[in-house]
Structures are given as C-alpha cells and as structure tokens.
Chain A
Amino acid sequence: MPDMSVPAVEMRGIVKRFPGVLANDHVDLTVRAGEIHALLGENGAGKTTLMNILYGIYHPDEGEIFVKGQRAHIRSPRDAIRLGIGMVHQQFRLVPSHTVAENVVLGLPGNFFFPERAARERLQEFARRYGLHVDPDARIWQLSAGEQQRVEIIKALYRGADILILDEPTSMLTPREIEELMATVRRMADDGQTVIFITHKLDEVFAVSDRVTVLRQGKVVATLETARTDKRELARLMVGRDVLFRLEKRPVAIGPTVLEVQNLHVRSDRGLPAVRGVSFSLAAGEILGIAGVAGNGQRELAEALAGLRPVEKGRVLLNGEDVTNRPPRALVRRGVCYVPGERLVGTVPNLSVAENLILKTYDQAPVCRGIFLDSRAIASHADALIEQYAVATPSRETPLKLLSGGNIQRAILARETSGAPGLLIAAHPTSGLDVGATEYIRQVLLSQREKGTAVLLVSEDLEEILQLSDRVAVMYNGEIMGILPADRADLETIGMMMAGIHRTEPEVA
C-alpha cells in the first residue's frame, strides 16, 4: 500500500504556451494517493495538455512537478513510467495485427525472447484483481473498443504504474462497457491505485470520482470533494455561467412533407444489409429523432439520404421529387444539408476556416464567378458566419485543425444551416462536445425547426433525442422498431425498443 499521507502527484504553477494559446495558466493540482480524481473541463480547457505534461509528452514552460513527494523532471514518457505513471490516451496505441500479450510486452527492455509464461500469469492476475478480462491470444483488430482499452490499461499496469491517467476513457465505449470500466476503476482505487480520470461529462464525475478539479480556459477553477457538490455547481464552474438543462421548445406549425422514405434498403461498408426496409416521412418544422445503439444502421441511413451511399432498394422523395441515388451535389442543390457524425468527414483540417466554410458552396455565386473564386466574397462570408455562430477562432485564415472540437462543430453547423436548408440531417451533432457547445448546438437545431427546416436527428444520446424531437423513431438491426410522438416517448419504452424487445405499430405519418 502506498503512503497515503504524501500526495501521489503534485503539480505547482504549471504554465504551457502554444502558439497563440495559453493552454495551462499556473495550474496547481494535487492528487492524493489512492483516490480517483476527476479532471473536468470543456474541450480546450487544458486537461489533456496538463496530463501530457505529467506523462512527459509535453514540457511545461514554467512550474514544477512532485511525484510521491519527490521533485520530478519528467522529460519523456519513459521517465513517467519509471515514476509509476501510466496513461491511456483517447486514441489507442496498439499494433492491430499483434496479439494482446505481444502488445502488452512490446517495447519492454530486457526481453530478447518473448516472455510467454510471465506475461500470461500477470494478465491472469490483472483479470482476477481488477476484472480486466481479455484473451491474451486475441489479435487487437478483433477486439472491441472497450477490450482494446483494457489492453491499454493492462499495458500501463504491466509497466508498474500505480498512478493511472485515463484520457476521456468513455468516449469510445458502449454503455455496458462504460459500466465495466467504472467497476474496474473502482477496484483499482480500492487496491491502492491512484487514478486521474479526464472527462467533460458530469455524470461520470459523480459515478466514479472521489474528488474533482475543474479547469476552465487553462486555469484551475476549483477542486472539490465530489460528494459535496452537485451537477449544477460543476456545470457552472466548468462553463463559467449557468447552463440551461432545459431548452425551450416552442410550438411550431408543422408544414408540408419534405422527406419521404419508402422501404429503404442500404448495405454497410462490408456489403451486409444495414438498413432493411425503413419507411418514414418528415415534415417542415419537425424534428424526427432516430434513436438506437450505434451500429444499427443509423449511419448508413443518414449517408444514403445525403447521397453518399447507394440505395439498394426503395425510394427517397424530397418535396415529392424522386431523388433516390442522386449524387451528393444534386441533393446539396436541393437544400439537403448533412452534419456528419465524424467531424473529419465534413472538414479539411489543413485548410482555413474560411475555406472550410465554403466547402459546399464554392462553385456557386457569390463565392464563385465563372471559374474564379472571389476571395473578398469568401472573406465576408466567413466573417459573417464566424460572428453569427460565435466561432472562436484567431482569424478566418487560421487552419481549421487549430480550433477546438466545439468550435469546429460550430463551423460545420454554420456552413450547413446558414443557407436555409430544406432538410437537415444531423448525425451525433454533440458527441464529444462539452456542455456549453452542446447547449449551443441544440439551440441551433431548435431554431432551424422554427424556421421550417425538416430536421432528421440521429443520436445515441437519449436525453438529446427526447429534448429536441417532435417524434422519435428507434432503429434496431436495420429496422425502425416504431415511431412515437415525443409526448408518448419515455425512456423505458424507447430503451426496450432499442434492445429490440418492444415493437409498436408504426403510426400513420
């Protein structure tokens, strides 16, 4: 057992500057031995930077670090590992074609031959002690995200880590995997391990942590005992103002039918049936929420409607016109806008904010005259959208990749919704975003609805679906299990439908 009186980690006055950004501004952080310490903050608040400093990936411009009471000069992850610090990054760093055991041992010094027996025994021990079950002979590419994360945790423990940093560990996991992870983290803490848990989700802070440090714009705002605070206080500390947890949804007169989908069949990337006979209709001024566990055909449905994936069977009618299998360009011209689930799909990170904002209108007036792009029109278009949608960017010429996730999403939404779309398809529009950005994005969707846009909202976040939708459809295994009006949709019914258990007759639309 570690000495509980000495803090496991103490960071004092940490300053880290990046070009144009002060990522950490005199940050003090004390993590007690054996506790689970949540590091809470919005995207871009400096959580990951701070932990990358602790793990030796970045170097502080100022400040000092003490690990287990000793002044530490951490110049590389190797130094960090020697001090007993392990880090599990958001993106896993595993070799896909190698086995679990090979990945765990990879890079350890002193092994010329593969330490077969030792590796196996320790993997079993971790499984027994912390519930980190994973088949040592499985190859990484065969594993789910949750299992891969376990391998990453095992890797850190195998190297003797007793201070474990988890960077947004739940972002890739299914709800069940999240529960398993939380249980593992608890068992590790009970065993004397120190865990630093980076997150921007309030629920997770309360589910797992003993104490929480809130970062905002690179500064520590507060460190609190989790038991002595509540969601509202943390949200306010994190965002810097009160957060509306209830959005105002005004009644809107439903307009004519914009989208009608008839018996749609679409295949997945691997050629398997992913959407199997889906029918629904969507009217102007209406939000139809598509709920469901990811991987039940939602992505394929959204892509098919945006013209990015071939329709195998069935029809898509847009304002009465058959647009089945029309190319994306034709749909864009008809007012179909698509906010894709993966931000990388909808942006060009190395191009400027201004150029990203014309990604879909670059060949139309006023941006384009003849074959020439009008740089002045591009600039004024960018300035207008940046202001209207409050995109925080140093300038319109800044490469998009330098913006935070929330601001990139604002820019995408600005591009997609500014041209008064007829149909807006928004896939997981707030996934990975912090409270403030989430609130803003949801308000944009609601205001689109008020403007008479037909909105198709695909989301895994049930709260979001229920908060925004007028009707809720649940997808399971490529089919729509039922469509409920929002006032008759409750968590229980939808949960059952998501599991494929309950099925209501599709209402007549």
Chain B
Amino acid sequence: MNSLPRIRLEKRLDTPRWLGVATPVFSVLAALLVIAVIFGLLGVNPLVAYARIFTGAFGSLYGLSETVTKAIPLMLAGAGLAVAFRARVYNIGAEGQLLIGAVCATGVALFVPGVPDGLRLPAMFVAGALGGALWAMVPAVLKARLRIDEVLTSLMTVYIASELVNYLVYGPWKGLYESGFPYSDKFPPAAQIPRIGITRIHYPTLILALLAAVLAYFLVRRTRWGFEIRVTGENPEAARYAGMNYLRTAMLVMALSGALAGIAGVGEVAGIHYRLRYPQGISPGYGFTAIIVAWLARLNPLGVILTALLIGGLLVGGDAIQLAMGLPSATVYLFNGMILLFVLGGDLFTRYQIRIELPGRAVATPVRLEREEVG
C-alpha cells in the first residue's frame, strides 16, 4: 500500500466565476515567487527588490504617471489582441502594427502639407489606425487565401516593419536637424499630443485606450460580430455550420487588433518622442508585452485596463531596480516571460481541480472547490 498522499487532477465540469479572477492573481504571485528565488541567487534580497519595484511604479506621483504612460500602448494593443485571441486568431505581430502606426503618423505629421492644425492630430490617429490595420491584413490575407498560419507570418511582419522604420530614420526621413542620430525631424506643435502637466501622460491617447477597451468589451459581448467571434473561437466547425463567414471574422479581428496597435504607435511618436526614432527607441516591445496583458486579463477587454496598468507598473518598477540595484537589463524580460508562463500554465486550474488523497482513506478530500460551485 502506498503511504504517500497523492495529488490528482480531475476535470472540471464548470468553471466558477471567481476562479477566473483568482487564477491570474495566483499565477502572478507564483511567478513572483520563482523570480524571488532567482533574485536570491543573484545575491539580491527579493523583498527589498519587490518593495523597490512597487514603490518605483506606484509609490510616487512620478512613478504612477510613468506607469500610466506605459500602460497606454499596452491597453490599446492588449484590447485588440484580446478580441483576436477570442476568435482564436493569433496575431503575434502587434509590435509591427504599432511601428507602422508610428510611421503613418510621422508621415502625416511631417510630410503632408496643408492639413489645418486642428485636424493634424486626428488625421495622424486615423492614418496610424489604417496603417496598422492594413499591415495586419498581410498575414490575414495570406491566411485567407493560402491558408498560411498567421502566427508565423504576423511575427515575420514585425521584422519587416522594424527594418522599414530603420530604413526611414537612417535614410529618406533622417532629420536635417538631428545631428546624426537616427531620428526624423521633430514634429511641429500641432502634431504633438498634449500631456497632463509635467507628466508624460498623453491623455487623449489614454482616453482612446480606455474607450477602445470598453468598446471591445461591448463588441465581444453584445454585438452579432462578437457572437461570431466567440463561436468561431470556440468551435470553428459550428461557426461554418451556422453560416458564419470564418474568413471575414478572421479579417475583422486582425484589422481591429492591427488598428488598435497602430493607434498605440501614434501615441508613442506623437505623445512621447515627437519624432520617429529607431524601432527600439519607439517601443521596447509593447506589442509583444500586450500578448501577456491580454492573456493575463483572460481575454476580457475590460480586464485589459487593469492588467495593462499592472504590467506597465512592472516595466517602470523593473527600470527602477535596474538602476538602483545594478541588475541586468534583462530583468524586465524575466518578469514578462515568467508571468506569461505562469498565466498560461495557471489556465490548467480553470479546467481541472486538484484532489489530494491521504493514504488509508477511501474517500478523497476535494480541495474546497466543489461545494462552492453548487447552486
């Protein structure tokens, strides 16, 4: 007879609502626990490090404002990706769509004459959204016409977009007044998004981001397109059976997530830098980090508002400890990677429940989960 307790997984019939919230929270905590061990191995006291991260991100007005600033692109791209992933269309190329949005905004800011000042910024946002959407159409059309997997192609379009930005800032768009830096010229004031006070929060983009998350939520829950997205994601065969047009749905969510990522790109160049710069100077991987933001929100666009702020805070706090504690710059990527790993892994608990069996007892003890589901 085996005398050790056994741990078993049993498939859940139903996922209670609270678990949908508890799982990401515990996933993040678990990721932080593992990172704490790594900090320990690096000779850094993890408690001190976490305290630093927290105060760095949320402990001062400056930190808070930076957190919000970084949450803006994450929220925009994340809301779009949450919708696309719902339809099981895996757009991994938000980073590229963001860069193309930045390019389009720059084009309108610097090279389109005759736009009235009041319309300059709206035109830039529209151009950025269109550019991002069109860029996302590349993998979408390849998928629709040739059945090429969108994961690979959307990822590859990131590198093309990145090289395009490089070409522009080293080549034709290289600024006359930037003394050799790979920057475009500075945007005229009418092409600069206003900020709140001395912070870098370009609030019109923030409003757009909040609006995007709310609208995306209503799109998914309350419209017939959202119904098509959900059915397509859950059971593509049933979608076909119901007469839904899979390719149209796939194109729609690709275009939507591309447009929102493009708007994020507009915000970065017109709200932060006031110029097109080399790709890493525009976005430290917001488009990729937005994937984590979307999953952490369990693909709920409203949840993206929270998770974007959380991950934004992590980026700011990560920067703070790099400087203060002499940690390598890869630290932030470590956070991102660990959190994504644990969030995806944590999904297991929404589909299974754990039972621990003590030796010598015939009846197993369910771990407090079952009773609460009844009713």
Please give the residue numbers on chain A whose beta carbons come within 8 Å of chain B beta carbons, in ascending order. 17-20, 58-62, 64, 73, 75-76, 306-308, 327-329, 331-332, 338, 340, 344-351, 355, 358-360, 362-363, 368, 371-373, 375, 399, 402
A75-B357, A75-B364, A76-B8 as given contacts; A373 in contact with B235, CB under 8 Å? no
- Which of the residues A60, A359, A399 comes within 8 Å of B231, measured between beta carbons? A359
Tell me whether A348 and B375 are in contact (CB under 8 A).
no
Considering only residues 228-277 of chain B, those with a C-beta below 8 Å from chain A are: 228, 230-231, 234-235, 237-238, 240-245
Cα-based distance from A332 to B14 in the complex (angstroms): 32
Q: In the complex the two chains form, what is the Cα distance from A482 to B362 in whole Å?
A: 61
- Assembled-state Cα–Cα distance A351/B242 (Å): 14
For this complex, 20 residue pairs linking A to B, each with C-beta atoms less than 8 Å apart, are: A19-B370, A58-B10, A59-B355, A59-B357, A59-B364, A73-B362, A75-B8, A76-B8, A306-B241, A308-B240, A308-B241, A329-B243, A338-B241, A346-B238, A347-B238, A348-B235, A348-B238, A358-B227, A371-B224, A402-B14
Using a CB–CB distance below 8 Å, which chain B residues touch chain A?
Answer: 6, 8, 10, 13-14, 222-228, 230-231, 234-235, 237-238, 240-245, 355, 357, 360-364, 370, 373-375
Closest A residue to B225 by CB, please name it: A371
- How far apart sit A61 and B374, CA to CA, in the bound complex (Å)? 15
For A17, the chain B residues whose CB sits under 8 A away are: 370, 374
Q: Which residues of B contact A399 (CB under 8 A)?
A: 14
In the A-B complex, the 8 residue pairs with the smallest Cβ-Cβ separation, listed nearest first, are A329-B243, A328-B243, A59-B364, A19-B373, A359-B242, A348-B234, A348-B235, A363-B224
Q: Could you list 20 further interchain pairs (A-B, Cβ under 8 angstroms) beyond the known A59-B355, A372-B222?
A: A20-B373, A20-B375, A61-B363, A76-B6, A76-B8, A306-B241, A345-B238, A346-B238, A348-B230, A348-B234, A348-B235, A351-B231, A351-B234, A355-B230, A362-B227, A372-B223, A373-B224, A373-B226, A373-B227, A399-B14
If the complex has contacts A19-B370, A373-B224, are A328 and B231 also in contact, measured as CB distance less than 8 A? Answer: no
Q: How far is the CA of A260 from the CA of B306 in the complex (A)?
A: 58
Q: Are A19 and B234 in contact (CB under 8 A)?
A: no
- Inside 8 A of B245's CB, which chain A residues have their CB? 329
A residues in contact with B228, CB < 8 Å = 362
Judge whether B363 and A59 touch: CB under 8 Å.
yes
Q: Within the assembled complex, what's the spacing in Å between the Cα atoms of A338 and B242?
A: 10
Counting chain A CB atoms within 10 Å of each CB, the highest count among B6, B223, B227, B373 belongs to B227
Rounded to whole Å, the gap between the CB of B5 and the closest CB of chain A is 10
The distance in angstroms between the C-alpha atoms of A349 and B237, with both chains bound, is: 12
CA distance A18 to B234 in the complex (A): 24
**CB-defined contacts of A73 to chain B, threshold 8 Å:** 360-362
- Are B363 and A20 closer than 8 Å at their CB atoms? no
Using A362-B227, A402-B13 as known contacts, say yes or no to A332 and B243 having CB atoms under 8 A apart.
Answer: yes
A351 with B14: CB separation less than 8 A: no
Closest Cβ–Cβ distance, residue B346 to chain A (whole Å): 18
**Inter-subunit contact B374/A19 (CB<8 Å):** yes
Structural contact, A348 and B13, CB atoms closer than 8 A = no
Residue of A nearest to B10 (CB): A58
| A75 contact set on B, CB distance < 8 A | 6, 8, 357, 364
In the complex, the answer to whether B223 meets A371 with C-beta atoms within 8 Å is yes
* B-side contacts of A20, CB under 8 Å: 373-375
A59–B357 CA distance with the chains assembled, in angstroms: 10
Closest to A350 in B: B234
Chain B residues within an 8 Å CB radius of A372: 222-224
Residues of B within 8 A of A346 (CB): 238, 241
